[in-house]
Chain A
């Protein structure tokens, strides 16, 4: 798989480390009433869709940036790659 890095251009997926569902960017509020069940869901539960999936990849062998990659889990086609920072600041991560 080739990941179109928004700054560095096309890079081999081998340079990256995979973390998982991009919803991991949405860390729950630790002071909320339901924090313990929210953290359980955050830590362990996954949507695990067959189809389009937004996921976190870390460019460990490159510029060490975190990316949100949009990829089809049934074909491995990569549809989009954004800096996770931009996604988080825009507050529009996959729910």
Chain B
């Protein structure tokens, strides 16, 4: 069933009695050509592009819980293409372009809203770095604008410009960046994949891999054995756990990132504002809640909750940046487990085991990557060659000294 304005009117006239479930709930088949492990944004997007762009069939997505219950439903929904390094920016620019056409591609309203992302700076050195990053972005076909203090004041007059430690000296403005309704991304990709024949199998946890002569034959799951030609693992925060079942260690640690949302307010924020120096970023959802967050807690964890010191730290950052936030009440807070890689960049690559492919290491920035991640992972699965925008995302980059260290912090997953 296609969604359209016409369909909406028709359904409104007959009491919304004609809507069908957005995807089937099939029983697992004994075998598939492609099995995607993980029904988050990346797994579902991979299935969608495999079926739609690469015209593959006999595809299943196996999800241990319900789709959208992982980080794709827990993030703060920011999308942007404002990376500096050559290994990264073409990939994120592809992603932003796919976001721009996503709703037509999926026939689903994902509420893609390019309301702008503003990264504040507070010193000459930071201004130089922002200018350099902006030029890098423009050279890669993205957009960037350097704002001075008055430019920021025009966008967001309510900020505290005269903070003694971090006075606002300007910002790098990325107008095509913004936010997307995160759950709708999972649902939209799931519905589209399903319409292209993909089996989305929920409540199906992968508990092991059957590997013979260094070739993967299938997966053991909580719903029985499923054989597979090729297996793509895209389980984000569970990467270490799942790949250890194939005997692999990864350059990844799992950490928790917390997020917060306030009660609903009238529109006050024009777009996304990041205050990196104060470990705080904020946007306003279409429902009116201020959605904000800060740093990871900083220790290994698989518990999808964090601790109070980071709550305090984030709220202090918020008060320092926009004191008016002190008048609003916090509605909810939660945490998600993230796959923090050693250089802060992802891995999309074959493994040493034939037929087993890996997609992970997204740190706290994998939501914006969802369309491109699915597109390039599908490319890798379908063609066995890396997509041209993802040639740097290899396992062996650490061995070869080819890290993609966007933040320049070295091998420290708890600093990214």
Contact = CB atoms under 8 A, between A and B. Distances in A.
Nearest to A36: B399
Contacts of B413: 20, 46
B303 interface: yes
A48 B307 contact: no
Interface in B371-416: 398-399, 411, 413-414
Contact of A46 (B253, B301, B303): B253
Nearest to B341: A44
B210 interface: no
Contacts of B251: 44-46
Interface-centre pick from A21, A53, A71, A73 (highest chain B CB count, 10 A): A73
Contacts of B240: 46-50
Contacts of A48: 240-241, 244, 249-250, 252-254, 300
Nearest to A17: B298
A95 interface: no
B217 interface: no
B253 A20 contact: yes
A88 interface: no
Contacts of B411: 43-44
Contacts of A74: 301-303
B342 interface: yes
A62 to B, nearest CB: 15
Interface residues of B, number: 24
A71 B307 CA distance: 15
A75 B303 contact: yes
A85 interface: no
Given A20-B414, A40-B398, A45 B300 contact: no
Contacts of B3: none
Interface residues of A, number: 25
Given A20-B414, A45-B249, A46-B251, A76 B398 contact: no
A48 to B, nearest CB: 3
A35 interface: no
A13 interface: yes
B307 A76 contact: yes
Nearest to B339: A48
Contacts of A18: 298-299, 414
B309 interface: yes
A73 B301 contact: yes
Nearest to A18: B299
Contacts of B398: 40, 43-44
Given A43-B411, A73-B254, A50 B302 contact: yes
A58 B38 CA distance: 36
Interface string B280-313: 0000000000000000001111110001010000
Contacts of A26: none
Contact of B309 (A14, A41, A46): A14
A1 B252 contact: no
Contacts of A44: 251, 342, 398, 411
Nearest to A16: B299
A55 B299 contact: yes
A37 B300 CA distance: 24
B302 A73 contact: yes
A76 B413 CA distance: 19
Contacts of B250: 45-46, 48
B251 to A, nearest CB: 4
Interface string A7-37: 0000001100011110000000000000001
Contacts of A53: 300
Contact of A73 (B238, B300, B309, B342): B300
Interface in B335-355: 342
A18 B301 CA distance: 12
Interface-centre pick from A13, A40, A44, A46 (highest chain B CB count, 10 A): A44
10 contacts: A14-B309, A18-B299, A20-B300, A21-B300, A44-B398, A44-B411, A45-B251, A48-B253, A53-B300, A75-B303
Interface of B: 238, 240-241, 244, 249-254, 298-303, 307, 309, 342, 398-399, 411, 413-414
By Cβ-Cβ distance, the 9 closest A-B pairs, closest first, are A48-B240, A44-B251, A50-B302, A45-B249, A44-B398, A18-B299, A44-B342, A14-B309, A73-B301
Given A49-B241, A50-B254, 8 more contacts: A20-B300, A37-B399, A43-B342, A43-B411, A44-B342, A45-B249, A48-B241, A48-B244
Interface of A: 1, 13-14, 18-21, 37, 40-41, 43-50, 53, 55, 71, 73-76
